[in-house]
Amino acid sequence: MRKCPVDDFTLKTETYEGVAIDVCPHCSGVWLDAGELESVQAAQASDFRDVPTSGAMDSVRAAEGMAQARSETPRNCVVCNSGLVQKEYAFASQIIIDQCPKGHGMWLDKDELARLEMFYEDQEDLDKILASMENEGKGLGGFFTRLWGNLRG
Ligand SMILES: [Zn+2]
Ligand SMILES: [Zn+2]
């Protein structure tokens, strides 16, 4: 059985957006095996164009709210027990995740998965990112290439 890297409770397997993930019943943190986050996002990719721009939150304020100081104790990979490495999920996301240095997956604290979804579902945010990418001459393909590249590190 996999144990929560934060509090050592046994993780429960749950289905989220059609993807099986490991959830801690105590702290609500989530372990994602390598590839599972992409699966969650792929299931939601079709939602992008349906989000009304008027309802989108300001991406700068959102990012500031997410950029919280991290003073947590180190976590270990639930698969190999290696110390997890903290890194920003994607450029400009301001979302810090704990990743296994050997590529088994990542730990998301409570709310971080929801923040990631907010990040991707926020049409205004996406437009700004795409605009910045186009300014760099990379376009949509470059956006996703960099996104997944950052995730895999
Ligand atoms: Zn926990
Ligand atoms: Zn590992």
pLDDT digits (tens, 9 = 90+) for 36-78: 767 776 766 655 444 444 344 555 544 544 444 345 567 999 9
Point out the ligand nearest to the CA of residue 31. 1
> What is the predicted pLDDT for the residue at 7?
95
Helices 123-135 and 59-66, packing angle to 10 deg = 100
> What is the predicted pLDDT for the residue at 112?
82
> What is the predicted pLDDT for the residue at 13?
93
As residues whose CB is below 5 A from the ion ligand 1, the structure lists 4, 6-7, 9, 24, 26-27, 29
How many Å lie between the centroid of ligand 1 and the Cα of residue 31? Answer: 10
Block residue for tokens 């079709």: 46
> What is the predicted pLDDT for the residue at 148?
53
Q: Which residues of the chain have pLDDT under 70?
A: 37, 41, 43-73, 91, 122-153
Contact criterion met (CB below 8 Å) for 38 and 120:
no
How many Å lie between the centroid of ligand 1 and the Cα of residue 30? Answer: 8
Q: Are strands 105-108 and 85-88 parallel, antiparallel or unpaired?
A: unpaired
> What is the predicted pLDDT for the residue at 102?
93
> What is the predicted pLDDT for the residue at 58?
52
